[in-house]
Amino acid sequence: MAISTRIICSLLLGLICQGALAVPLEPVNLQLKWRHQFQFAGYYAAKEKGFYRDVGLDVNIIEAQPGIDPIEQVIHGKADFGVGTSELILDRAEGSPVVVLGVVFQHSPLNLVTLASSGIDNIHKLAGKEVMIEHSSAELFAYLRCEGFTKRAINIRDHSFSTSDLISKSVDAMSVYVTDEPFELKKANINYNLFTPRMCGIDFYGDNFFTLESTVTNSPKTVEAFRAATAKGWRYAMDNVDELIEIIHSKYSERHDVDHLRYEARMMRGLMEPELIEPGYMNQGRWQHIAETYQSLGLLDEDFSVSDMIYVNPNYGQVQRLKTALLIGAGILILALVILFTISYFYRQVKASGNRFRTMFEHAPFGMIVLDDSHRIQSWNNQAERTFLWKQDEVMGKDVVETIVPKFIHQQIRDVLNRVLSDSMAVRSENPNFRKDGEEIICEWMNAPFKDNHNENRYIVSMARDITERKRLETELDRAAHYDGLTAIANRRLILDLFRGAIANAQRTEGLLGVLFIDLNDFKKINDDYGHSIGDEVLITIAERLKQAVRDSDFVGRLAGDEFLMILQNISDRNDAVAVSDKVAALIAEPCHVENHLINTSASIGISIYPDDSKDLDELITHSDKNMYLQKAQHKSLQ
């Protein structure tokens, strides 16, 4: 009977596939946000490798031109899908019914660039200057506002999308993609300065593919097909860079040579982090943080919520729904409970009706285990074998706790299982487990009771899902959000949060805080003389020295560039802060050994004391910043 079922399924699958081949492809248009280049490699891969065709779509990829707004093209029906920036939030707030389907760049590539020869090596030197900024660059305006610029502080000009205007000094600065225009400047041996919104703690998504709410409602299968094929295309593109470069150069555009396309791919990898984050992945909490950033700068109403603009996969078919449920956060618990109780009900029927629903249990997309009231294993499905590496015949009748649970939490897990039976309730938990090969993994468990034929709670159906990778990803994402990617110390956002907490603690205890604003002297010269990679190594070394200079109760963070902030908790008086400042200055003054170079460094350090100088965070930083500049002026006068 089982063999016949397989044969029938195979025949049905074959007929379905043949039918699918006969169905004409659905034509859809994708509007890019710029001209053909590696920036859009994932879409080319999805088209050229047949990923769109496999899901029934004939995708026409439309190149953009200066002045073309992808959002307007989609809204006016000239395209079904588009590529846009995180400014989609502002468009949604203004009434455009856009829905974000996925994210390509986890960190936006938008920067401002100036020529080194212009002398504009500080963002504040842009005051009164001519700056070209392209459309849909709200994050750059947010950056400027964060740095204290008003709308009239700089002169905004229409973007020509040509570095020649910068080189000829027709403009003083221009917005660029860090993956693109800097290559042209490097090729021309022109030194430049880059200013990124991340210097101000503004770290937005970049290059998001989107559609309209009406399209999601009226054509859900098309939308999901496009989203899934696009994500697959991006995975392929980043795994096969050389092949995509050849495809782009031969089929789409020769505007950029092969070296330029390779530069794009290399720079994009750092912004996408494809080895860590699945292409297309986005987090609603991160979108909400982006919205809150716009709100804090007065660019967005306070009551705006991003939930309506974030696409949620609707799916079709029970198996697909189950797979999706394992990926979409809070929804997983609700759906898992439904499935768990369904299987627990059917399992009783299985025992009475000759395994009628056995297939559902065996082929569930997560580990399913049936336990008796002594925690012995009664059933163990295919996915449980793959998760824990134990075959079914190896574990039948064994105590599940003794088999796959670390000894130090044996009693904790037994208490959970006993509570499931005694309280007749489903219990969710997360805990470490061991596989047969001894490797430790982290699993999410849903345990539900079900009754035997005498209406007594005698069995437990347990659903196990390996979330080791998810936990690792969450840790990495949390670290990326709070720690500086170069030096691994607290980033601007985290150090300011820690500062606020330290102030609140000092208020409660009536204690003193020391604030040290640290700025390296002549750091730009190090970059110019030795290169940015050497400069980065110097910053890493300095950050390590700063950590050595403080106690565990103190905090060190990188504000931006070569600026650091140090918070000293529970000091006795100003002299304590001065002593630490002297120690920091001495540590920084020690030569840095980088590769074959011996590099001398020094720092200007400004001090402020809470509450003597102020009780306000911003005023304390400003006070220490001013003191730092006094030291820096003294340093320059001695040169």
pLDDT in tens, 379-391: 999 889 999 999 9
Q: Examine the domain organization and report whether 264 and 402 are in the same domain.
A: no
Q: Is 584 a residue whose pLDDT tops 80?
A: yes
Q: Is 345 a residue whose pLDDT tops 60?
A: no
> Please, which residues have CB within 8 angstroms of residue 461's CB and are 6 or more apart in sequence?
340, 343, 344, 347, 368, 369, 370, 447, 448, 450
Q: Examine the domain organization and report whether 457 and 516 are in the same domain.
A: no
> Please, which residues have CB within 8 angstroms of residue 5's CB and are 6 or more apart in sequence?
none
pLDDT digits (tens, 9 = 90+) for 435-448: 999 999 999 898 88
Q: What is the CATH number of the domain that holds 142?
A: 3.40.190.10
Confidence of residue 638 (pLDDT cuts 50, 70, 90): low
> Please, which residues have CB within 8 angstroms of residue 113's CB and are 6 or more apart in sequence?
166, 173, 174, 175, 176, 181, 182, 185, 192, 193, 194, 195
3-state SS class at 282: coil
- Round to whole Å and give the CA distance between 557 and 483: 8
Considering only residues 425 and 19, tell me which one the structure prediction assigns the higher pLDDT: 425
Q: Count the Cβ atoms, other than its own, within 10 Å of residue 381.
A: 23
Residue 541 carries which DSSP code?
H
Residue 452 carries which DSSP code?
-
If we measure between CA atoms, which residue out of 537, 549, 553, 638 comes closest to residue 591? 537
Confidence of residue 354 (pLDDT cuts 50, 70, 90): very low
Q: Does 218 fall in a domain?
A: yes
pLDDT at residue 73, rounded to an integer = 92
Q: Examine the domain organization and report whether 617 and 586 are in the same domain.
A: yes
Q: Does 322 fall in a domain?
A: no
Q: Does 183 fall in a domain?
A: yes
> Please, which residues have CB within 8 angstroms of residue 27's CB and are 6 or more apart in sequence?
57, 58, 60
Return the structure tokens found at 264: 């794009």
Considering only residues 257 and 352, tell me which one the structure prediction assigns the higher pLDDT: 257
Q: Examine the domain organization and report whether 444 and 563 are in the same domain.
A: no
Confidence of residue 22 (pLDDT cuts 50, 70, 90): very low
pLDDT at residue 303, rounded to an integer = 79
If we measure between CA atoms, which residue out of 109, 112, 108, 110 comes closest to residue 130? 112
pLDDT at residue 146, rounded to an integer = 79
Q: Count the Cβ atoms, other than its own, within 10 Å of residue 572.
A: 10
Q: Does 97 fall in a domain?
A: yes
Q: Examine the domain organization and report whether 65 and 118 are in the same domain.
A: no
pLDDT at residue 4, rounded to an integer = 36
Pairing of the two strands 173-177 and 110-115: antiparallel
Contact 380, 395 (CB under 8 A): yes
pLDDT digits (tens, 9 = 90+) for 57-94: 999 999 987 777 889 999 999 999 999 988 899 999 98
- Round to whole Å and give the CA distance between 66 and 58: 26
Chosen domain end from 166, 200, 234: 200
Q: Which helix (H) or strand (E) is 68 found in, with range?
A: none
User: What is the arithmetic mean of pLDDT over 545-563?
Assistant: 90
Q: How far, in Å, are 35, 307, 456 from residue 28 at the CA level? A: 19, 26, 57
- Round to whole Å and give the CA distance between 91 and 73: 13
Chosen domain end from 251, 280, 309: 309
Q: Does 46 fall in a domain?
A: yes
User: What is the arithmetic mean of pLDDT over 115-141?
Assistant: 87
Of all residues in the chain, what percent carry a pLDDT higher than 90? 45
Residue 64 carries which DSSP code?
P
Confidence of residue 360 (pLDDT cuts 50, 70, 90): low
pLDDT at residue 325, rounded to an integer = 37
Q: Which ranges of 23-122 would DSSP assign to H, the alpha helix?
A: 41-48, 51-54, 70-75, 88-93
Name residue 250's beta-bridge partners: none
Return the structure tokens found at 157: 């000009």
Q: Does 474 fall in a domain?
A: no
- Round to whole Å and give the CA distance between 515 and 564: 11
User: What is the arithmetic mean of pLDDT over 142-165?
Assistant: 83
pLDDT at residue 413, rounded to an integer = 93
Considering only residues 344 and 184, tell me which one the structure prediction assigns the higher pLDDT: 184
CB burial of residue 191 (10 Å; 0-12, 13-18, 19+): exposed
User: What is the arithmetic mean of pLDDT over 121-132?
Assistant: 89
3-state SS class at 437: coil
If we measure between CA atoms, which residue out of 131, 113, 136 comes closest to residue 67? 136
Q: How far, in Å, are 63, 369, 389, 459, 517 from residue 453 at the CA level? A: 66, 19, 32, 11, 72
User: What is the arithmetic mean of pLDDT over 497-526?
Assistant: 91
Considering only residues 563 and 13, tell me which one the structure prediction assigns the higher pLDDT: 563
Q: Does 580 fall in a domain?
A: yes
Q: How far, in Å, are 488, 528, 584, 587, 603 from residue 590 at the CA level? A: 21, 20, 10, 6, 11
pLDDT digits (tens, 9 = 90+) for 605-626: 999 999 999 998 888 988 898 8
Longest dimension (CA), the chain: 93
pLDDT digits (tens, 9 = 90+) for 445-478: 988 887 666 656 678 888 898 988 878 877 776 7
Q: Examine the domain organization and report whether 430 and 561 are in the same domain.
A: no
pLDDT at residue 196, rounded to an integer = 83
Q: Is 317 a residue whose pLDDT tops 80?
A: no
Q: Which amino acid is at 243?
A: E
Considering only residues 77 and 340, tell me which one the structure prediction assigns the higher pLDDT: 77
Give the phi and the psi of residue 226 in degrees, each rounded to 5. -65, -45
Q: What is the CATH number of the domain that holds 350?
A: 3.30.450.20
Confidence of residue 20 (pLDDT cuts 50, 70, 90): very low
Return the structure tokens found at 387: 């998760």
pLDDT digits (tens, 9 = 90+) for 247-306: 999 999 988 899 999 999 988 987 887 866 788 988 887 888 888 888 877 888 877 888
Contact 605, 589 (CB under 8 A): no
Q: Is the dihedral of CA 625, 628, 633, 639 positive or negative?
A: negative
Residue 407 carries which DSSP code?
G
3-state SS class at 329: coil
Q: What angle do CA 509, 511, 516 make, to 5 degrees?
A: 135
pLDDT at residue 270, rounded to an integer = 79
Per the structure, how many domains does the chain have?
4
- Round to whole Å and give the CA distance between 583 and 567: 14
Q: Examine the domain organization and report whether 76 and 24 are in the same domain.
A: yes
Q: Is 12 a residue whose pLDDT tops 50?
A: no
Q: Examine the domain organization and report whether 238 and 354 are in the same domain.
A: no
Q: How far, in Å, are 427, 551, 601 from residue 445 at the CA level? A: 8, 40, 54
Dihedral angle computed from the Cα positions of residues 37, 39, 44 and 45, in that order, rounded to the nearest 10 degrees? 130
User: What is the arithmetic mean of pLDDT over 10-31?
Assistant: 58
- Round to whole Å and give the CA distance between 13 and 454: 42
Of all residues in the chain, what percent carry a pLDDT higher than 70? 86
pLDDT at residue 3, rounded to an integer = 34
> Please, which residues have CB within 8 angstroms of residue 259's CB and are 6 or more apart in sequence?
183
State the residue range of the domain holding 340: 330-468
Q: Examine the domain organization and report whether 187 and 212 are in the same domain.
A: no
Beta strands in 452-581 (DSSP E): 457-466, 512-520, 555-560, 563-571
pLDDT at residue 457, rounded to an integer = 60
Q: Is 484 a residue whose pLDDT tops 90?
A: no
User: What is the arithmetic mean of pLDDT over 535-544?
Assistant: 93
Q: Examine the domain organization and report whether 70 and 122 are in the same domain.
A: no
Please give the mean pLDDT across all residues of the chain.
83
- Round to whole Å and give the CA distance between 108 and 205: 5
- Round to whole Å and give the CA distance between 374 and 398: 10
pLDDT at residue 323, rounded to an integer = 37
Chosen domain end from 171, 200, 229: 200
pLDDT-wise least confident of 145-159, 327-341, 351-365: 327-341
Confidence of residue 29 (pLDDT cuts 50, 70, 90): very high
Q: Does the bond joining 611 to the residue before it have cis omega, within 30 degrees of 0?
A: yes
Q: Examine the domain organization and report whether 487 and 606 are in the same domain.
A: yes
Confidence of residue 329 (pLDDT cuts 50, 70, 90): very low
Q: Examine the domain organization and report whether 504 and 415 are in the same domain.
A: no
Residue 38 carries which DSSP code?
G
pLDDT at residue 40, rounded to an integer = 96
Confidence of residue 314 (pLDDT cuts 50, 70, 90): low
User: What is the arithmetic mean of pLDDT over 169-196?
Assistant: 90
Contact 209, 81 (CB under 8 A): yes
Confidence of residue 27 (pLDDT cuts 50, 70, 90): very high
Q: Does 317 fall in a domain?
A: no
